[in-house]
Amino acid sequence: MFPCDFAWGAGTAAYQIEGGWQADSKGPSIWDTFCHKKGRVFGDQNGDVACNSYELWEKDLECIQQLGLTHYRLSLSWARLLPDGSTGHVNQKGVQYYNKVIDDLLACNVSPMVTLYHFDLPQALQDQGGWKSLSIATFFDSYAQFCFQTFGDRVKLWITINEPYVCAKLGHEDGIHAPGLKEPGIAAYMVGHNMLRAHAMAWHSYNSLYRPKQRGAVSLAINSDWLEPLHSDCAEDIAAAERYLAFTLGWFAWPVFVTGDYPEIMRSAIDAQSKKLGYSGDSRLPSFSKDEPAVLGTADFFALNYYTSRKVKARGACEQVLCMKSDRDAEEVLDPSWPICGVSWLAVVPHGLRKLLKYIKDTFNNPAVYITENGFSQVGPLQIEDDQRSEFYKDTIFEVAKAIGEDGVNVRGYFTWSLLDNFEWSDGFSVRFGLFHVDFSDAKLSRAMYHSGREYAKIISKYKSNQSG
C-alpha cells in the first residue's frame, strides 16, 4: 500500500536544534534577537545552544540510523551561510557544516530534504524591512540560487519556505514569533504576499537554471488543520469553515496550485471588512503584478504540515477591529470528542489527516504529496514510555495508508516532527516533539530514543521489508 520508494522521514529546523548561534562567524537571525529580549519566550529560554547539533551532528546521524529513516528533513540557517543575508559575503564554515551533513546522510543512504527558510531571517535583512519589504524576494532568490548551486548536486528535494502562514500571522500580526511585530490586519498580508513572490522567484530560478542538470523538485510547506463546520447542517457554520480554510490553506495553496491569485472569498471578506471599518485605500490584500514571475504552477509537489483538526463556527458581529480574525469571521471551536493531551493547540485527530489529504487531491488536481510535518508533543512530566504518542503515530500512519489505498491520494512520503526534542519556539524547551529525548540539563545533551521512536522504527522496517519482498 505504501509505494516502494515511499519516503520515511523525520524533520528538524536549524534554529530549533543547531545552537552555535555565534559560532564561526554566523550572523544573527531574528530568532536570536527575539529570544534575547525578556518576556518573549517561555522562561526566557533561547536557541543559543539548543541541541547543539552544530557540534553534535554525528549524534543526530546515529538517531537517524537507529530509526532506519530513508529521508531526513533539515533546514539551512540563512545567516550561517550568508551572515548579512546577501551573497556578497559567504561564510565557508557554514558551507562546510551543511556539506558534511548532506554527505554523511548520503553515505548512510538517507536522502536529504532541505528547507531554505524555517522562520530564521538574517537580522541584517530584518533591519532593511524584513518580509514586509518588496525587495526581500530578490534577496531570497539569490540565497536560494546560492543553495541550489552549492548543494543541489546532492539535494533533490527542496522546500523554499516553511509555513508562510505562521511567519506572517504569528510573527507580524500576533507578535508571538520573531520578529514580534503586532500590526494586525495589514502586515501579515504583506508578508504572506512577499513570501509567495520570493518562493515563486526561487522556483523559477530552479526551473530554468538548475533543474535541467540537477533534476530535483521544489515546493513550499503549507501548514493546515483539517476543518469542519461545528454543525454540519448549519449554513453559517459551513460558510465559516470555508472562509477559515480560505484564510489558512487557501491563502497560499490557491495562488500556487489553482488560480495564481488569492481565494476570491478571502479578498471579498477582507475588502468588505475594510469598508465596514472605514479603512480606505487599496485592498489590504496585495495583488500580484503581471510583470513578475507567475506564482501559479510553482510547486513540483504538495508539501503539507498537518497537526490537528478544528470545528468552526461563524463569529458574527463581535469585536469589529482591524485584524485577520475579524476579516475571516470564523472561529475555531474545540470538539470534546477530539481530545487535547499535549500542547494546548493540538487536538489528536489522526483521521483529519486522511480527510485533508482527500481534499487536497480533489482540490489541487491530484498532486504528489509529501507530509512534511506531523507530530504530537509531551508536556509536563517526562515519559520515555510515551505510549500515547506511539498510538498517535500508529493511528496516523494507518490513516495515511487508507488515504493511499482507498482514496487514491498520491502520498509520496511522511515526515514526523521531530527527530529530536528541541527549542519549541515561544514554548522554549517545555514542549517536546522528539522521537528522541534530549536531556537539556546535561552538558552532553544526550539523546535517548522514546518508545514512540521505537514504534516508528518498527513501522518503517515493516513497510520497507514488505516493499522489498
- Interacting residues toward ligand GBH by CB under 6 A: 13, 162-163, 166, 223, 305, 307, 345, 373, 417, 424, 433
Residue number with CB closer to ligand GBH (305 or 396): 305
Instruction: Kindly state the smallest distance separating residue 163's Cβ from ligand GBH, in Å.
Output: 5
Alpha-carbon distance of 155 to 72, in angstroms, equals 11
β strands within 354-451, DSSP E: 369-373, 378-379, 411-417, 431-432, 436-438, 447-449
DSSP 246: I
Alpha-carbon distance of 351 to 403, in angstroms, equals 10
Instruction: Kindly state the smallest distance separating residue 336's Cβ from ligand GBH, in Å.
Output: 18
Cell numbers 520497507 correspond to 464
Instruction: Kindly state the smallest distance separating residue 169's Cβ from ligand GBH, in Å.
Output: 8
Alpha-carbon distance of 196 to 288, in angstroms, equals 9
Residue number with CB closer to ligand GBH (300 or 424): 424
Alpha-carbon distance of 466 to 469, in angstroms, equals 5
Residue 373 annotated to the active site: yes
**Cα first-last separation, the chain:** 13
Instruction: Kindly state the smallest distance separating residue 224's Cβ from ligand GBH, in Å.
Output: 9
DSSP string of 255-316, one letter each residue = IIIISSS--HHHHHHHHHHHHHTT--SS-SS----TTS---TT--SSEEEE---EEEEEE--
Catalytic member of 373, 399, 424, 455 = 373
SS3 call for 370: strand
Instruction: Kindly state the smallest distance separating residue 207's Cβ from ligand GBH, in Å.
Output: 25
- The b-or-e profile of 443-458 (16+ CB within 10 A means b, else e) is eebebebbbbbbbbbe
Residue number with CB closer to ligand GBH (202 or 303): 303
Alpha-carbon distance of 442 to 430, in angstroms, equals 16
Residue number with CB closer to ligand GBH (238 or 419): 419
Alpha-carbon distance of 137 to 219, in angstroms, equals 16
Instruction: Kindly state the smallest distance separating residue 153's Cβ from ligand GBH, in Å.
Output: 27
Instruction: Kindly state the smallest distance separating residue 345's Cβ from ligand GBH, in Å.
Output: 4
Torsion of CA 79, 84, 86, 90, to 10 degrees: -70
Residue number with CB closer to ligand GBH (305 or 390): 305
Q: Please give the grid coordinates belonging to residue 31.
A: 530568532
Q: Please give the grid coordinates belonging to residue 349.
A: 485527530
Residue number with CB closer to ligand GBH (132 or 325): 325
Crossing angle of helices 187-205 and 136-151, rounded to 10°: 40
Contact 38, 446 (CB under 8 A): no
Residue number with CB closer to ligand GBH (343 or 397): 343
Q: Compute CA distances 358 → 365, 400, 405, 410, 453, whole Å.
A: 11, 10, 12, 10, 27
Residue number with CB closer to ligand GBH (177 or 204): 177
Instruction: Kindly state the smallest distance separating residue 213's Cβ from ligand GBH, in Å.
Output: 30
Q: How many helices and strands (H and E) does the chain possess?
A: 17, 15
Alpha-carbon distance of 186 to 293, in angstroms, equals 24
Instruction: Kindly state the smallest distance separating residue 85's Cβ from ligand GBH, in Å.
Output: 21
Residue number with CB closer to ligand GBH (300 or 421): 421
The residue number whose beta carbon is nearest to ligand GBH equals: 345
Longest dimension (CA), the chain: 66
Neighbour-count burial of 243, counting CB atoms closer than 10 A to its CB (0-12 exposed, 13-18 middle, 19+ buried): buried
Catalytic residue list: 373
